[in-house]
Amino acid sequence: MGKAHSIALATYPMYVWPAPYYPVRDLIVEINDELAAESQKRFGFNRAGTSWREAVEDPEIDVIDILVPNVMHYEVVMAAIANGKHVICEKPLALTANLAREMADAAEAAGVVNQVGFNWRLAPAVQLAKKLIDEGAIGEIRSVRSFWLGEFFNDPSVPLVWRFKKDQAGSGALGDIGSHAIDFSRFLAGDITAVQGIQHQFVTERPLLSGSGTGPVDVDDATAFMLKFASGATGYIESSWAAPGKKTSAGFEVIGSTGSLSFNWEHMGELQYYDGRDSADRQGYRTILTGPAHPSGDFFWPISGYQIGYADTKVIQIADFLSAVAGTTERPQTTFREGLKSTLVEEAVIESAKSGLWTPVQND
Ligand SMILES: NC(=O)c1ccc[n+]([C@@H]2O[C@H](COP(=O)([O-])OP(=O)(O)OC[C@H]3O[C@@H](n4cnc5c(N)ncnc54)[C@H](O)[C@@H]3O)[C@@H](O)[C@H]2O)c1
């Protein structure tokens, strides 16, 4: 490997979160040249460009980080892999599971490090939940309820951007935020084998970006589904970007045979743990404030409860990726294969919402 050059593709002004954390920030690509120049300056990149093709073909670059709209993920990822780059791609990995499968297969065949942007599961409290489950702290998992509820697109005046178009986004709340809830559930309790879903649309028309008239929305504002895990446990997942009062209500409740766990991103430094083996006179949920004793907590502060934020989970994600690029670890935790598995669940949910039937989930 040459120098650890990096490139973040697009997404200024909202989401160039990982950029400041790369050891070398070589080239940032954004199709809007004014934004490209501004973000180069703001995030300290050596160069700015407007062509992602030039970027993926540049022999000086080793790592491509793809943060463009969903419809572009497949093409950019496949070109990056063909040029031997290590690659990070945002979720949902692709518009369809077939495309996501091709991406995972291609990355594995080329032997490049690959990672999908499931940073939410990398929060220390979520990783601690998994550690406690693996250590038997709640016994056998009986059920998992995961959710990602927000209110940011409840406002019908939000214009008709790519997120509201099926041919550019794949799905609405389901793929955009439900994918993280699916990832929570899969991470904590394993593969999902069947789903039964319902989808809702609350805003059917939105103002056109041109400023006059409206156009149709053809994705879900909310999706909910029941599910079965391969382990025999059951579950429920709910995602909505039109849930008034919910700011970033992303989390889970895991009920086990001897205890339970509960987490909500709105208090992302805390994990709630109930141990049913405590003596009767002191039973109750305890709040564990995460810190250096917890997975990746030692990256930040030497004292528990100092708190971390959303961007810090992107730092953890990049660290996980770069450890694999450097050969310290075999692979990142959230590989393209994990992205594919979430996409397979999403497709089964959409099919089930149409048919009204329980629908099996393929897992490869
Ligand atoms: N993991 C997370 O927490 C998280 C959070 C937000 C968004 N995302 C994902 O990140 C991706 C981007 O989302 P967003 O909200 O930043 O979108 P956005 O629409 O705000 O930004 C997309 C950017 O891509 C640029 N762009 C479009 N076509 C381009 C091209 N051909 N070449 C270069 N640049 C181009 C646009 O000009 C724009 O600046 C999506 O896949 C989304 O699902 C993930």
Q: What is the pLDDT of residue 19?
A: 61
Is the C-beta atom of 14 inside 6 A of ligand 1? yes
| Ligand 1 centroid from CA 16, angstroms | 9
| Domains recognised in the chain with CATH numbers | 6-119 (3.40.50.720), 120-355 (3.30.360.10)
Q: What is the pLDDT of residue 1?
A: 37
pTM over 0.85: yes
| Ligand 1 centroid from CA 194, angstroms | 31
Edge-to-edge order in the sheet of strand 192-200: 286-289, 270-275, 259-264, 249-256, 141-149, 234-240, 222-229, 192-200, 359-360
Q: What is the pLDDT of residue 3?
A: 44
In this prediction, the residues of the chain whose per-residue pLDDT falls under 70 are 1-23
* Among 333, 313, 314, residue whose Cα is nearest residue 323: 333
Is the C-beta atom of 32 inside 6 A of ligand 1? yes
Residues sharing a CB contact under 8 Å with residue 200, sequence separation 6 or more, in sequence order: 220, 221, 222, 223, 240
* Among 158, 169, 148, residue whose Cα is nearest residue 223: 148
Q: What is the pLDDT of residue 6?
A: 54
Q: Percent of the chain scored above 70 by pLDDT?
A: 94
Q: What is the pLDDT of residue 8?
A: 54
| Ligand 1 centroid from CA 160, angstroms | 15
Is the C-beta atom of 89 inside 6 A of ligand 1? no
Is the C-beta atom of 117 inside 6 A of ligand 1? yes
* Spatial separation of the C-alpha atoms in residues 21 and 313, rounded to whole Å: 11
| Ligand 1 centroid from CA 9, angstroms | 8
Q: What is the pLDDT of residue 18?
A: 57
Is the C-beta atom of 11 inside 6 A of ligand 1? yes
Is the C-beta atom of 90 inside 6 A of ligand 1? yes
| Ligand 1 centroid from CA 10, angstroms | 6
Is the C-beta atom of 34 inside 6 A of ligand 1? no
Which atom of ligand 1 lies nearest, measured to the CA of 119? 1
